[in-house]
């Protein structure tokens, strides 16, 4: 049977990849499939490069989890996407409850991005420097960064990251920007503003956390609009959840949905690759967040491929 990364590369993409997380590495059967670079040419650490994991106390950096992911990927000749530098979630308490001024938080963001991206210099294909900056209506998310620094936090993080690793592609990554609408428009406005001011930006990540039967029909349109701004795009966190229990009909719709997402990326030259947010239902984030929902990944909890896998192959083969 065809292999997902092999077909992605045959279609001209840089990779088909998966997120993973360090605790999963003790699962030998899981690790064997993750390590097969005919399936996955790229890995994203699901948690271990986030701020709470890498700078739990101000100025004290711990890279062991991220290092293990990079070392696994390099051993398997797989690319790594760094995830992430600046996000409102999974922050250590010294960030969320510090009494910041514009100047002190600027220095903290600079130091975090600079130290994190420097540590992995040369190891990372692309970095989610800014994660989830917008609300669904396209306004800026109210968080410690925006509330203290305004939109300037984006500049600070991107400039620090570029200096730290000039060869890494710097991305802004968000969800609910995969179809046309206010949030996608906000992302376009931000990226064109950054470009006009010479702030480094190389890519837009479309996360792709979808619901079976509700995948946007305008993914290709949005990708073309983003690419027209002079950046690359990628699907960075794809999964397509359903209300449980799984039925044959839902699994068939899920196959169609996966195929449609992959087909959109395949049709846009500036879409460099697709990453699924872990490959197996065994380790999906969905059930713990959305009660009664799950089965979002292309491999089931027993590591058996579902119809969705064939949808992925078909999408890259179109
Ligand atoms: O590390 C602690 C552990 O010490 C503790 O015992 C355990 C008990 O709950 O929690 C552990 O932390 C969990 C962490 O994952 C590591 O496993 C958190 O509770 C849990 O909330 C966290 O979930 C992660 C989630 O981001 C947090 O927002 C998911 O694994 C991760 O897949 C998910 O990924 C995000 C992307 O970064 C951004 N886009 C959305 C995506 C899905 O939510």
Ligand 1 atom at shortest distance from the alpha carbon of 19 = 32
Q: Looking at the predicted structure, is the pLDDT value of residue 1 above 90?
A: no
Quickly count: other Cβ atoms within 10 Å of residue 152's Cβ.
15
Active site (catalytic) residues: 237
Reported confidence tier of residue 251, pLDDT bands at 50, 70, 90:
very high
Q: Share the mean pLDDT of the chain.
A: 98
| Percentage of the chain exceeding pLDDT 90 | 99
Does residue 237's CB lie within 6 angstroms of at least one atom of ligand 1?
yes
Determine the Cα–Cα distance for residues 270 and 285; give it in Å rounded to an integer.
28
Does residue 46's CB lie within 6 angstroms of at least one atom of ligand 1?
yes
Does residue 207's CB lie within 6 angstroms of at least one atom of ligand 1?
yes
Per residue in 256-292, pLDDT tens? 999 999 999 999 999 999 999 999 999 999 999 999 9
Closest CA to 257 of 294, 289, 298, 227: 298
Q: Whose CA is nearest to atom 11 of ligand 1?
A: 47
Ligand 1 atom at shortest distance from the alpha carbon of 289 = 43
178 burial type by CB count under 10 A (0-12 exposed, 13-18 middle, 19+ buried)? buried
Note whether 42 and 17 are within 8 A (CB): yes
Does residue 239's CB lie within 6 angstroms of at least one atom of ligand 1?
no
Q: Rounded to the nearest whole angstrom, what is the distance from the C-alpha of residue 47 to the centroid of ligand 1?
A: 6
The CA angle 309-203-278, to the nearest 5 degrees, is: 30
Per residue in 80-99, pLDDT tens? 999 999 999 999 999 999 99
Q: Whose CA is nearest to atom 37 of ligand 1?
A: 46
Does residue 96's CB lie within 6 angstroms of at least one atom of ligand 1?
no
Q: Is the dihedral of CA 206, 212, 214, 216 positive or negative?
A: positive
How large is the average pLDDT for residues 64-74? 98
For 123, half-sphere exposure in the C-beta direction (CA atoms, 13 angstrom radius) is 21
Does residue 90's CB lie within 6 angstroms of at least one atom of ligand 1?
yes
Give pLDDT, residue 6: 98
Determine the Cα–Cα distance for residues 254 and 77; give it in Å rounded to an integer.
30
Q: Whose CA is nearest to atom 43 of ligand 1?
A: 285
Q: Strand locations in the chain, DSSP E?
A: 15-20, 42-45, 79-86, 126-131, 169-174, 203-206, 209-211, 232-243, 271-276, 293-294
Determine the Cα–Cα distance for residues 264 and 238; give it in Å rounded to an integer.
13
pTM for the full predicted model: 0.98
Q: Whose CA is nearest to atom 23 of ligand 1?
A: 285
Give pLDDT, residue 218: 98
Give pLDDT, residue 318: 83
Closest CA to 89 of 130, 58, 117: 130
3 state SS of 83: strand
Per residue in 133-170, pLDDT tens? 999 999 999 999 999 999 999 999 999 999 999 999 99
Q: Whose CA is nearest to atom 14 of ligand 1?
A: 47
Per residue in 171-206, pLDDT tens? 999 999 999 999 999 999 999 999 999 999 999 999
Q: Looking at the predicted structure, is the pLDDT value of residue 250 above 90?
A: yes
Determine the Cα–Cα distance for residues 174 and 130; give it in Å rounded to an integer.
9
Residues whose CB is less than 8 angstroms from the CB of residue 149 and which lie 6 or more positions away in sequence, other chains included? 102, 105, 106, 109, 156
């Amino acid at each position: 049977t065809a292999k997902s990364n092999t077909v992605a590369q045959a279609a001209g993409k840089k990779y088909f990849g998966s997120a993973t997380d360090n605790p999963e590495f003790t699962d030998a059967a899981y690790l064997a499939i993750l390590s097969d670079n005919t399936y996955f040419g790229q890995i994203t650490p699901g948690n271990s490069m986030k701020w709470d994991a890498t700078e739990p106390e101000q100025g004290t950096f711990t890279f062991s989890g991220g290092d293990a992911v990079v070392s696994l990927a390099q051993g398997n000749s797989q690319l790594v996407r760094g995830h992430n530098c600046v996000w409102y979630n999974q922050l250590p308490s010294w960030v969320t409850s510090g009494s910041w001024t514009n100047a002190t938080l600027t220095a903290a963001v600079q130091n975090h991005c600079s130290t994190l991206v420097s540590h992995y210099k040369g190891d990372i294909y692309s970095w989610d420097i800014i994660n989830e900056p917008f609300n669904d209506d396209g306004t800026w998310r109210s968080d410690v960064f925006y509330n203290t620094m305004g939109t300037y936090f984006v500049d600070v993080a991107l400039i620090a990251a570029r200096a730290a690793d000039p060869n890494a592609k710097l991305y802004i990554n968000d969800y609910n920007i995969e179809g046309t609408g206010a949030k996608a428009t906000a992302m376009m406005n931000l990226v064109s503003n950054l470009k006009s001011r010479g702030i480094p930006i190389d890519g837009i990540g479309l996360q792709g956390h979808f619901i079976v039967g509700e995948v946007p029909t305008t993914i290709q349109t949005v990708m073309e609009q983003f690419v027209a701004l002079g950046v690359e795009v990628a699907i960075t966190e794809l999964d397509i959840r359903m209300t449980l229990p799984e039925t044959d009909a839902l699994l068939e719709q899920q196959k169609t949905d996966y195929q449609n997402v992959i087909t959109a990326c395949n049709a846009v030259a500036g879409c460099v690759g697709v990453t699924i947010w872990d490959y197996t239902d065994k380790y999906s984030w969905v059930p713990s967040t959305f009660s009664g929902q799950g089965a979002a990944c292309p491999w089931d909890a027993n590591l058996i491929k579902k119809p969705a896998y064939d949808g992925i192959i078909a999408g890259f083969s179109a």
